Amino acid sequence: MNAFHIADVVTVFVVFVMGLFAVRSFSGSDAGMPQEGEMAPTFTLPNENGVPVSLESYRGQWVVLYFYPKDRTTGCSIEARNFQRDLEKYEALHAEIVGVSLDSVESHGKFCSKDGLHFPLLSDQEAKVSKEYGVLGKILGFKMDKRITFLIGPEGRVAKVWTGVNPMLHSGQVLAELQRRQG
């Protein structure tokens, strides 16, 4: 029983240290990230059906461009479901939701199907757009997008940037900002 207790303590310590390492390596600098007032970098990426989607196609509308780490993981599923739950509210504010991660088109298709998502998820497998937006990070040596959202105005300028996003609360925060701006 004593050896079991020591093994538990060692396991907890190792997990704690690995967690610190992961958070530290995943955070990092946001240098190179488009700032409020700057033009949002344009791009074209395939959606969950393999159809190319261009940021330019949303000109004249608000765009909630959110980057997330990984399809079908807890935090990412919560964030996506909350955006889906509020989709009608976004549409009423003339805003489009667009998610981006490094996952494949096929993975996005499964995520949309499983979670009932009706907004585009774009595949950035080569990480070109993620690098351009300054959201690419690493966790335990694996490349993943950081959970960062850009609110892009109808004219294509970055209106607001959220870093350190809480997936449970984020959709409400974005809606509140859109409502404030549209007054």
Active-site residue flag, 76: yes
Q: Is the dihedral of CA 178, 33, 74, 64 positive or negative?
A: positive
CB atoms within 10 A of CB 89: 15
Q: Is the dihedral of CA 58, 63, 66, 67 positive or negative?
A: positive
Residue with tokens 């996005």: 108
Q: Which of 40, 64, 76, 121 is catalytic?
A: 76
Instruction: State the Cα–Cα distance between residues 138 and 38, nearest whole angstrom.
Output: 26
Instruction: State the Cα–Cα distance between residues 50 and 105, nearest whole angstrom.
Output: 6
Instruction: State the Cα–Cα distance between residues 39 and 48, nearest whole angstrom.
Output: 26
Residues 130, 100: contact at Cβ < 8 Å?
Answer: yes
Q: What amino acid positions are annotated as catalytic residues?
A: 76
